[in-house]
Each structure stands twice: as C-alpha cells, then as structure tokens.
Structure 1
Amino acid sequence: MPRVRKGQAPGKLSRVVFHERFAQSFKDPWFDPERDALARVEDIAWKAYSESRKAPLTQKAGEGFADPTYELSIEWLETRDRLRAAEDKRNHADTPSRVLVVVGAPRNDGSCPGEISKTFRLAQLCREILERERIEVDLLDLSLLTSDYAKRIYPCKGCVSTAMPLCHWPCSCYPNHALAQTGDWMAEIYERWVAAHGVLIVTPVHWYHAPSVLKLMMDRLVCADGGNPDPTSTAGKDAAKAKALELAGWAYPKHLAGRVYGVVVHGDVAGIEGTRRGLADWLDWMGLIDAGPKARLDRFIGYYEPYATSHDALDRDTGVQDEVRNVARAVAEAMKQARAGTLSAPGAKLKSPRPK
C-alpha cells in the first residue's frame, strides 16, 4: 500500500493572524458601533477554526451507505438528494428538454467593466434559437461571481490526485465552516448540470485559456468524472482508505455522461482554437456527446481592433452571429435524437482498457 505523503501544509494560524484575517471584512466604519458584538462572534469563529469544525450539522448516513453510522454533513446530504431528484426528473420521458447555456465571461455591467459582455450577447442568440425549438433554457451566467454579493466558487482542492474515491460526488470539500469557506455556488451548479439534457458553453479567451470563472467551475466538476458517491466509504477524507479503495478496483463512474454539448469560443487576437479544443476534449472525457462539427465553433470578433469598439464589431459580423445560432440548432437537433435513442455515437459502449 502506498504511503500518504505529508509535510507541505503549515500549522494553524496564530490568534493574532486569525484576528487580522477575520477583521478584513469589517473595515467599514459603519461596523464601529458593533465592535464588541463582532469580537464575540470572532471568539466563536476562532474556537470553530481551532477545533476544525468543518461540518457543524451532521446526521448518521443511514441505509445505502458503506457505513450507516458515519456522521455525514447535512448540507452535503441535502445537495446529494437534490441531484438525485434532478436526475430522476431528467430521465423521465415526459420532462421537457433542457439545455444549460453557460456564459463563461466574467464581464457584466453590474461591476467594474460597466458593460455587458459579447459572450452574454452570443449566449442570448443561442437562447432564442433553443426556445423557438420549445427547449427549456437554463442560463448559467458565471459573471455573477464578479458582481453578486457573497457568490463564490471555491477552488478544487485536488483530492482526486490523492485517490479517486477521495473525490466525492457531489463535492464534500465545501462548505468548510471552520475555514469560513461557505456559500459555495457549486452546490447549485451541480444540480443544474444534472438536470440538463444538453450543455452549451459560450466563452471568450483569456490569455490563451478559459477565463477564471469558467475554469473554477470546470475544475470543480472533476467529481462528476469518477467521483465517489459515498463519503462514508473513505471515512470522510481519510487518504489511506481512499488509496486502498482505488487500488482494490474503482469503476470511475461518469455521472454526467450522455448529455449533448456544443461550444462557442471567441477571441480578438489568438488562442481560440486551443481553448475550443480544450473544452471539447474535457467534455468528451466526461462522457458528453458532441452535437457534430457545427456545434464546435471558434471565431475572432474584431480581429486586432480596439477593445472599445468590440461590440460594434460584433454588430457588423452577422456571419458569426449566424454561426453561433447554428451551434444552438445543432445542439437542439442532437439532443432530440439522443432523447429518442437515435443519435449515433460510435464507440460509446466500448469498454476502456484504461479507465480513469
């Protein structure tokens, strides 16, 4: 059995440093009348941090888990139950077809940029086409991470690299109340992915890559690709137990497989092809099914033109607008075939000799 390597993480914060971190959220003078009350809250937070009180609300796992007596986070159980309900509803033949349209740009007019993104406009073109096809559209605008109060996606902690079964489906790393890592948007986003029959991602290129708001979500979806639906089987986050479980034989279940996808990537200078390939490869790896060549689009908008006139460039480029509409049409067509059981996906049922 491989040993668990240790020695990287520093020790806990000192009380002084903890105070400095805690106080950062209350620098506004409007909080001055409540400094005594905040000090009492800080003392409670310090105690919770010192005792690593990650999940203060738990209950016994119960039937269906490897260890029915294990105390599981109630918040995790509630998320798990919502995902199960969403999956059941999605699989019902009478459920209307649903596409999750993801806006991968961080820009909107409710924050510092002061203007909507071209990505949002392109996503609206997709939405219009899908709704004409009587398809329900769930618009997931990741720019809200930059403009909504306390809306956040925490980074993936990389549990999968220790052992796949340590990565739980849905993610159990958050919330972590001891570290004030609460309000994680992914608990809702997992449900929205599960509920969808198709996914259409629209994104710009940032420094040859997907923007940070999109990449945060992508990394946190690793648990959908091989994740462990039973945290009790690893006694929570017991690395040694997770390694043993993987080495005993792990199935690497693909929890989002079978959904249809399309991708629209746009840029102004470089990086569109690499980003489009990266997104498509990622979705392929998770077992999603591409909606054909017309559903994988990368285009420049306002090539080497000023940023200030980029919306005007999009206004003029009716060709790009129509190509984006075609991505939505391709997704709609493929999704209908997938739900009818007539979509051709050669090799989809072949067993991988090297699952991971």
Structure 2
Amino acid sequence: MVSNPTSLTPEHDLEPRKGSPSPRLDEAEFKRRFLDQFQDRAYVPLSVELGRIAEAAWDAYLHSRKSPKTRKAGPDFADPDYDLATDWLAAREEIQAAQARHDEAAGPRRFLLISGSSRTEHTCPGEISKTYRLIKIAEDVLRQASHVSVEVLDLSRLTSEYGRHIHPCKACFSTAAALCHWPCSCYPNYSLGQVHDWMNEIYPLWVEAHGIMIITPVNWYQVSSPVKLMMDRLVCADGGNPDPTTTHGKHAKEAKEIEMRGWHYPRHLEERLYSVISHGDVEGAENTRRSLSDWLRFMHLVPAGPLAEFDRYIGYFEPYATSHEALDRDKAVQEEVRNAARTLLEAVLAKHAGHKIGAGDRLQEPRSK
C-alpha cells in the first residue's frame, strides 16, 4: 500500500507539536530511584561502589545517552554515514535470518504458539495457567506432523523471569509512519534504564513462522496485559520503516515529510496464517477473540479457517479455585483446541503445496449447537 502523496504547501505545518510536562528528574530523585533497586542486604557492603555506579548512571541520564554503542550504517542504508545503534543492527540481522528461514522452500513448516496468560506457578499465583495447558494440547498435535518446527512463546515469563520486559510502545507511528522503525528502535534506552526488552527476540519468532496460534485468557474484557504489550510493539511490523537513516533516528519532522510524499507501508508479516483462541470465565471472550482476529487481519495475516478461531467459557461462573478441574472436565474444548491446531497445520501445508482449500472442513466438531 502506498499512501497518496500530498504536495507540501505552506498550509501544512509539520513542526512536531509540544506542550506536555517534562518527565526529567533532578539528581537527588534520579539517584534515589536508581539505588532503590538494591534493597537486598547483600548490597550493604557495596554501598560505596553503588554510589559510584549511581554517579555514572546519572551522567548517562543527564546527557541522554540512549544508545552508547553505534557504528556507521554502511551502504545498505540511505545515509551510509549515519551512526546506528549496534543493538538495532543486531536485531535487524536476526530478523533477516528469520525471514530467510521462513522463505526456505525445503525447510520445515514453522509454527509459533503464543501463551498469553501472565499466570504461572513460578511466581505469586503458584499455579500453571489454563492457557498454557491449552497451548500444550495444540503443541502435541503439531509435533506429530513430519517436517515441522514448533516454538512456544510463553508470555508468563514477563512475570516470573528476572530481567524480562516488553516495554510499552511509544506510539511513534501516530506522529508519522516513517518514524516507526522496523524493528523497533525505541529500545533499549540505556539512559532511562529501559533495557532487557524481549521484543528483539520475539520479532524473529513472528517473522520465521508460517503459522501462528495465539491463546489468551480474558482479563477485564480484553486480552491479557502481556499480549497487549506484544501487540502494540508489533505495530512496526505493519508499515514500519526498515531504514532509520531516512529519518536520522527519531527526527519527527523528517518522518512527517516522508509520509506526506507518500509512504509505501511495507507489511512485514503479511500472508502468514493464524489461529486465535480466547477463553474466559464470566464475560468478554467473543470480543477478545474478535479484536485479536481483526488486528491480525489488518496486518494482512490470513485466517487459517473457521475451526482455527473460537472463544469459549471454561467453568462459567464457577469458583476460580476449581477452574483447572473445569478444564479437565471440558473434553470438548480440549478437542476444539486440537481441531484449531489441525486446521492451522492443514492450511500451512496446503499453502506450501500451492493449494487453496477450506482447511479444517473435514474435521468433526466435538459439540453441536
């Protein structure tokens, strides 16, 4: 898609709008927040060293050194002499390698299964999620097929694993499409302590996949917060700019000018097949499933087939304490998950063979209306 080019005339004011209050901290507050992470008594003997580290951190913050390690972009970019962050270049290389795996005709058919629940027995809840159990059911189906590769992305690691983050989207796309870089260049931001961003590992999983299944619980009428964080950060996969040198980093006015000349809107994940399952216990399952499907369709991913998408209530208005027992009893929903995985597999294999079929049409549904 190419946006309609618009001739730049004096009535177009492309200067970035300003006016929000500054979030900048003074030195005392910055150091208080920085040192607040070292509460464990093991750090007590290191107070002098931590003070020196806090001084260094303050200097990085004061001078806004977002990307301290850079190198010249080189001949692959519009401005070869521009200094690009080595983190971003490494992420780009991983995505290019993932695209090569995706495009390999003789390679395995690749599937990405995303468990959207933040619940896990490895931190406060103390119990596995029903979502993860459903993912394992789908995984078992796919692994029985020959010449496939399956990756499971368990988003509960955000709540249970040290240093694992998906930082929020900064909405660069809303300023101008070309300002949103593919992959995202907003993170890491070392001066703000916005590091350990998981998305640079997640992007290649999406890129290499031929089929993607998302299973999410309903949290307050919506997808779970880990899923929403991932969704927002995938905005760069839909129209994002693969060359940050064209905007010389994050120069908003340059990006606006590029968009007004006509943006080609590259869809970096188009034509991958998908399956979506949402499950709840009270309300919101249908809207959650629909919003996920609408999002994926907007990015030009393709639904695998009718049986690959559904929403269900497991233990409707029953006690939370027995929700896993409700899933144990619900053999139908377990079979529906298997059918969703079978449908996704069938669609991916058919596409690879050059066929277009109604994937899942011959599968028997486990329950009638």
The two structures have a TM-score, normalised by structure 2, of: 0.92
- Paired with 2:339 and 2:265, the residues of 1 have a C-alpha distance of 34
Which of 53, 61, 64 is the equivalent residue of 2:73?
A: 61
Q: How does 1:283-322 map to 2 (within 5 A)?
A: 283-322=296-335
User: How far does residue 328 in structure 1 lie from its aligned partner after superposition?
Assistant: 0.2
Post-superposition CA distance 1:115-147 (Å, at most 9, x none): 000000000000000111232110000000000
Equivalent in the alignment of 1:348: none
Listed as ranges, the matches of 1:1-356 within 5 Å are 1=12, 2-10=14-22, 12-134=24-146, 135-343=148-356
Q: For 1:234-286, what per-residue CA distance to the aligned partner results, in whole angstroms no more than 9, with x for missing partners?
A: 01000000000011000111100111100111000110000000000000011
**CA 127–53 in structure 1, closer or farther in 2 if over 3 Å, else same:** same
Q: In the aligned structure 2, how far is the partner of 1:181 from the partner of 1:340?
A: 44
Shift of 1:11: 5.0
Q: Supply the distance in 2 between the matched residues of 1:169 and 1:186 (Cα, whole angstroms).
A: 11
- Shift of residue 89, structure 1, vs aligned partner: 1.6
- Which residue identity does 1:273 align to in structure 2? E
Letter in 1 for 2:164: K
Number of residues paired by the alignment? 345
Output the amino acid matched with 1:340.
A
SS across alignment from 1:25: coil
Determine if contact 2:347/2:357 at 8 Å carries over to the other structure: no
> Cα deviations across residues 8-66 of structure 1 (Å, max 9, x unaligned)?
14152100110111011012222010000001111111000011100000000001211
Runs of 4+ in 1 over 2 A off after TM superposition: none
Q: State the secondary structure of the residue aligned to 1:26.
A: coil
Matches of 2:295 and 2:356, distance apart in 1 = 21
Identity of aligned residues (%): 53
Which residues of structure 2 form unaligned runs of 5+?
1-11, 359-369
- The SS at the match of 1:312 is helix
Q: What is the distance in 2 between the residues matched to 1:178 and 1:210? A: 31
Deviation at 1:3, TM superposition (A): 2.4
Q: Which runs of 5+ in 1 are unaligned?
A: 346-356
Corresponding residue SS for 2:36 = helix
Checking the alignment, whether the CA contact within 8 Å between 2:115 and 2:152 is kept in structure 1 is yes
Q: Which amino acid aligns with 1:143?
A: S
